[in-house]
Structure 1
Amino acid sequence: MRIVIGSAGRRVYLVHWFQQALRNLGIPGEVIVFDHDPHAAAVAAADGHRVMPAYISPEYPQAMIDAVEELRPDLFITLNDQELTLLSRGLADQLRDRGVTVPVLGPLQHQIAADKFQTSAALEHAGIPVPHCALLSDAAGVRALLERGEHFIIKDRYGSASSGLQRLSHAELSSLLAGSPDGIVFEGAERVIQVAIFGDEYGVDIIAPLTGGAVQGLLARRIVTMRNGESATAVSVDNAPFLELGQRLNTRLGVRGICSLDVLVDHHGIAHVIDINPRFSGGYPFNHLAGADVPQFMVASLAGRPAASEWAAYQLDIVSAKHEGMIRFDAPDRHAHSLQHSHL
């Protein structure tokens, strides 16, 4: 079996966990990394790699097709939001035509996940709580938000890892709008503005079959600390409060494989979805270290084996924290590698 992880970057642990899943199930196979950076840490941990054009390059789609035709992987996943967007626009279907399982949402469903303005509109229409939201450039929409809250959050409309994040008080937003009565526009990416919700932040992973279907498992964790827009410390928690939410999101999006949600539970106990990432997120490891094993579920599914029910079980109240690690490359061409030491 051959598994390819695109844009793996520093996610050495995910390469290891897929390799371990193959070993646990007694399936001969390898984990290959596709990455634009030949010095990405995950390259050194993988069984092989391909240097790919940047996803913004016009050469990227054909290079992906050529690599897939050469390697004939069973599974291709990516950890990059922009690459997911390109795949959802037809490239994933081209790879599927070549026999590869590619757990990427359909184009309309992916757009809901990728576009924070559409996330808000689509989920609100489905009756799923979300923060009140408007485009920052929409003066009327911003004025309406000013009547709904006292604190506000600005984000990049298509961003990830908290890109463009700013926090504003009612007075600060009113002042900005007074200076730009036709709409507030910042240089760079388009932004959305949301009414801030105060409460506890959680990460929730919805797990579904790789080709779509009913929810197979749900993982939950409470975020303790963040670093650079990603969970740094978290504690595993009971998934029961989020089961209905997971079912409803899956019905709306048609999850394939894994989809990670950022959820804020306010002081009234209402869970608001603030972000959707249809991939392995930086929060998944907290549940894996507590006992869950989504890579094993995926490998078993690819092999046509019923996955042992234990893959979705995890201990509660397990606190995990990310920290720095190092990994060594033995050869400049990356055809040989030696794993010296790695951590999350």
Structure 2
Amino acid sequence: MRTLRILFTSAGRRVELINCFREAAEKQGFHAEIHACDLMPELSAACLSADISFAVPRCTDPGYVTSLLDYCSYARIDLLVPTIDTELEQLAHARSQFAQIGTEVHISSPATIDIVRDKELTVEVLRAMGVPVPRTSRIEKMANGDGCWEGPFFVKPVAGSASRGIAVLEGPHQIRNDYEEPMLAQELLRGDEYTVNIYLSDDGVLLSAVPHRRLSIRAGEVEKGRTVRETRFIEIAEKVAKALPGARGALCFQLIDDPSRGPCVFEINARFGGGYPLADRAGGRFAESLIARLAGRGECATMDWREDVVMLRYDSAIFHDRP
């Protein structure tokens, strides 16, 4: 059985994602040798569950990509899987450098990363493709009375992630004047919230879309979820895929099914999302498809997945003695 060396960057708590890849590799006839890195790997559950782990600078550090290139060359890494938004831009621009040393980076094009990392641009691009999106305005316009609605509304960073900096305001009178970064105002949608995990072929064709209802959320990630086969959401997924130039592999987006407005997309992540293990268990086969592609085989991500699969996350622990 050939060994497939997979590196998860900014691994953090992604133990479930690592397990998905271990199982996917086995199904494709490989032994997965899991490598993981983080700023402090001794405090990362995913790093401790990996076969090999190591420390790296912060992903915003100028030497971050160089450290990964050196390691991938030394360890002969076949596949690099990023897990957080803030490392995507650097890795997207360095994809060809990794390819030269034999490492495939699971990443969409820089153009797609630029879109999804700018929430204002995301809304503009999706709206142009006919994707339903919430009303959105720069916070300064709302504060000056130039917004097209009074409230209530969300405020959120233009380049935010993991629910950082989000707040609900009742009206423009509650807008602060000391935000530390560019902020958006976005209408407050009501209704059930969903994530749609999607997988695109290397030429941008949507192969799978697996929606799940977010029954409970903790720290911005789904804690309890249930897969639903909702035709409207899958149709939206087709439009999202067409709106993103050079999107490939696994992505996910969030929407709220507002009783008066219908489903509106408000967030896209161009990576494996925190709730991907639910799509994997339901039969979406994203990780397996990525490994099959890497091996030069036909991709196997599919629309033939199971509805009403429920994920209930719980706290566990990994113990180790300090060296």
TM score, norm. by length of structure 1: 0.86
* Contact in 1 for aligned 2:285/2:300 (Cα 8 Å): no
Aligned residue among 42, 60, 65 for 1:61: 65
Query: Could you tell me which amino acid in structure 2 is paired with residue 10 of structure 1?
Result: R
How many angstroms apart in 1 are the aligned matches of 2:247 and 2:110?
A: 12
Aligned residue among 286, 306, 311 for 1:320: 311
Deviations 1:26-48 (A, max 9, x none): 21341211222222111121121
How many angstroms apart in 1 are the aligned matches of 2:283 and 2:169?
A: 39
Equivalence for 1:87? 91
State the shift of 1:150 in Å. 3.2
Q: Compared with structure 1, are the counterparts of its residues 185 and 91 closer, same or farther at alpha carbon in structure 2 (3 Å cutoff)?
A: farther
* Contact in 2 for aligned 1:137/1:185 (Cα 8 Å): no
Equivalence for 1:26? 29
Equivalence for 2:247? 255
State the shift of 1:193 in Å. 0.7
Equivalence for 2:19? 16
CA RMSD of aligned residues (A): 2.1
Query: Could you tell me which amino acid in structure 1 is paired with residue 77 of structure 2?
Result: P
Larger deviation: 115-124 or 101-110?
A: 101-110
Equivalence for 1:304? 296
SS in 2 for 1:167: strand
State the shift of 1:313 in Å. 3.4
Equivalence for 1:166? 167
After superposition, residues 283-302 of structure 1 pair within 5 angstroms as 283-302=275-294
State the shift of 1:318 in Å. 2.4
Deviations 1:148-192 (A, max 9, x none): 35310011111111111111113xx2x246xxxxxx533323211
* Contact in 2 for aligned 1:222/1:237 (Cα 8 Å): yes
* Contact in 2 for aligned 1:205/1:259 (Cα 8 Å): yes
SS in 1 for 2:41: coil
* Contact in 2 for aligned 1:294/1:312 (Cα 8 Å): no
* Contact in 1 for aligned 2:157/2:183 (Cα 8 Å): yes
How many angstroms apart in 2 are the aligned matches of 1:149 and 1:235?
A: 34
Gaps of 5+ in 1: 178-183, 333-344
Larger deviation: 258-267 or 15-24?
A: 15-24
Aligned residue among 72, 75, 90 for 1:71: 75
Equivalence for 1:113? 116
How many angstroms apart in 1 are the aligned matches of 2:61 and 2:146?
A: 40
Which structure has more strand as a fraction of its residues?
2
Equivalence for 1:126? 129
Query: Could you tell me which amino acid in structure 2 is paired with residue 237 of structure 1?
Result: V
How many angstroms apart in 2 are the aligned matches of 1:7 and 1:312?
A: 30
After superposition, residues 96-245 of structure 1 pair within 5 angstroms as 96-139=99-142, 143-145=145-147, 147-170=148-171, 173=172, 175-176=173-174, 185-209=177-201, 211-245=202-236
Gaps of 5+ in 2: none
Query: Could you tell me which amino acid in structure 2 is paired with residue 96 of structure 1?
Result: A
How many angstroms apart in 2 are the aligned matches of 1:330 and 1:176?
A: 49
How many angstroms apart in 2 are the aligned matches of 1:302 and 1:8?
A: 21
TM score, norm. by length of structure 2: 0.91
State the shift of 1:239 in Å. 4.4
* Contact in 1 for aligned 2:41/2:48 (Cα 8 Å): no
How many angstroms apart in 2 are the aligned matches of 1:185 and 1:262?
A: 29
State the shift of 1:291 in Å. 3.5
User: What percent identity do the matched residue pairs reach?
Assistant: 29
Q: Compared with structure 1, are the counterparts of its residues 169 and 10 closer, same or farther at alpha carbon in structure 2 (3 Å cutoff)?
A: same
SS in 1 for 2:272: coil
